[in-house]
Amino acid sequence: MYHHQVRFIITNSFSSPHQPSPAMAVHPPHPSSTKQQPFFHNETQPKENIFITTHPISFFGVPLVNLNTRISNLELSNPTMLASGIMDEDAGSIQRIIDLGAGAIVTKSIGLIPREGYPNPTIVELEYGLLNAMGLPNPGIDHYGKELQQITKSKTPIIGSIYGSNASEFVTLGKKMEEYGVKAIELNLSCPHAKGYGLEIGSDPNLMQEIIKGVKNSVSIPVFVKLSPNVTSITDLAQAAEKAGADAIVAINTVKAMKIDPEIRMPVLANKTGGYSGKAIKPIGVRCVYDIAKNVQIPIIGVGGITTASDTLEYIMAGACAVQIGTAFYSEGLEVFRTICTDLESWMKHHHVKTLTDLIGVAHQ
Ligand code: DHB
């Protein structure tokens, strides 16, 4: 009975150093990767027969459609980015995701000093996504910098995610990230459950603006701001971030949520509440991106429940210029970046769209 509701509990590898690698790293490939594929890989029935043999997506190796996109001064070869917090713990895991075709990588959120995170259980798989409260486990910026220096020469842009409790911590972290070679900074102003960090400071527009201005004045790379949906108006915060000089908005972080197991009469997560990610939150993310896009001029990166090319198109049509993928890497397996890109190319070819960026915001017309 327990397993009808709670399929897997995944643990925090930082707080349990004697455990082997985290379960996410050993998840088997999704069975759909061995079946004949429909138009989009989440559909059980093909809509139309438009496979590569009937609609080629390249001609002598030259792509017939263009997936390139741009966020501020970053050029991405495709719009799929690895979201912060999954498979981005060290240079080796980041290299793996680059090899799997991601257009850019966002690092784990890194603070000034090492932090163990919350005790286990820290992640639980629910029906339509993952509920997690890891507690910002990370080795601290100086140690993580050694990993970054091995990887930031990559052609695939690496974006450094940072968290702090005040503007001066963010400034120190931003400068160090730039020294280690990241191509942009992502300010985590939205983690939904860390006391004194994330959402607790990111929901105060004045403090948020002080942090953005401080970091912008201290680095020469673009600064992105990741916002939470757990606020009265994410659009007001996005406008405040734009006014303070942010170069892009990342929307959304996880949705604050909890799971109680009736058999043990207790919350499942040690932290009791956590952040919900995955398919269930996609409509929330699309709505946020759509509303933000109506009110800001800076680029938006969509995140929340993106699993397929169809999901990616929804976010792009709502106004995003790129998307971040996290939970789908766990649920769909290693091929998710390539599958999304291949399906985007097929869709574009079929609909006579040569350039992906032509689709940004078209749902507003
Ligand atoms: C964690 C959760 C988040 O939603 C986030 O943005 C960063 C870190 C965490 O629990 O570690």
How far is 94 from 214, CA to CA, in rounded Å?
A: 28
CA 346 and chain centroid, separation: 24
**Has residue 160 been placed in a domain?**
yes
The CATH number assigned to the domain holding 291 equals: 3.20.20.70
Burial tier of 137 (Cβ tally within 10 Å: 0-12, 13-18, 19+): buried
Are 338 and 93 in contact by the 8 Å Cβ rule? The answer is: no
Average pLDDT value for residue range 339-346: 97
Active site residues: 191
In a domain, residue 37? The reply is no
DSSP-derived pairing of the beta strands 123-126 and 104-106: unpaired
Band of the pLDDT at 365, cuts 50, 70, 90? confident
Task: Report which residue type is found at 141.
Answer: I
pLDDT of res. 38: 53
- pTM of structure: 0.87
Q: Is the CB of 326 under 6 A from ligand 1?
A: no
Q: Determine contact, residues 130/278, Cβ cutoff 8 Å.
A: yes
Average model confidence (pLDDT) across the chain: 87
Q: 213 pLDDT band (50/70/90 cuts)? A: very high
CA-nearest residue for atom 3, ligand 1, is 191
Q: Tell me which amino acid residue 49 is.
A: N
Specify the pLDDT at position 338.
Answer: 97
309-313 contacts: CB < 8 A, separation 24 or more? 309/40, 309/41, 309/339, 309/340, 309/341, 309/343, 309/344, 309/346, 309/347, 310/40, 310/42, 310/343, 310/347, 311/282, 312/79, 312/80, 312/340, 312/344, 313/344, 313/347, 313/359
Six-digit token string for 155 = 């052609």
Backbone angles phi, psi at 355, to 5 degrees: -125, 120
Cβ of residue 91 lying under 6 Å from some atom of ligand 1:
no
Structural domain boundaries, residue 221: 2-8+57-364
**Domain for residue 223, yes or no?**
yes
List the residue whose alpha carbon is closest to atom 2 of ligand 1: 191
In a domain, 271, yes or no: yes
Ligand 1 atom with least separation from CA of 194: 10
Q: Is residue 213 part of a domain?
A: yes
Q: Among candidates 124, 137, 135, 20, which has minimal Cα distance to 89?
A: 137
What's the pLDDT tens digit per position in 111-154?
999 999 999 999 999 999 999 999 999 999 999 999 999 999 99
Q: Scanning the structure block, which residue is given the tokens 């917090």? A: 85
Residue pair 285/319 in contact (Cβ under 8 Å)? The answer is: no
List the beta bridge partners of residue 158: 105
- Which atom number of ligand 1 is nearest to the Cα of residue 134? 10
Please report where in the chains the tokens 């690496």 appear, as a residue: 158
Does residue 262 lie within any of the structural domains? yes
Q: 32 in a domain, yes or no?
A: no
CB atoms < 10 A from the CB of 82, how many? 27
pLDDT band at residue 27, thresholds of 50, 70 and 90?
very low
- In 3-state terms, what secondary structure has residue 230? coil
Q: Is 10 in the pocket of ligand 1 (CB under 6 A)?
A: no
Number of domains in the chain: 1
- Closest to 276 measured CA to CA, from 135, 131, 136: 131
Whose Cα sits closest to atom 5 in ligand 1? 191
pLDDT tens-digit series, residues 75-124:
999 999 999 999 888 999 999 999 999 999 999 999 999 999 999 999 99
pLDDT in the model for residue 17: 37
**Residue 133 in contact with ligand 1 by CB distance below 6 A:** yes
Q: Is 202 in the pocket of ligand 1 (CB under 6 A)?
A: no
AA identity, residue 121: P
Q: Output the residue whose Cα is nearest ligand 1's atom 7.
A: 191
Domain annotation covers residue 31: no
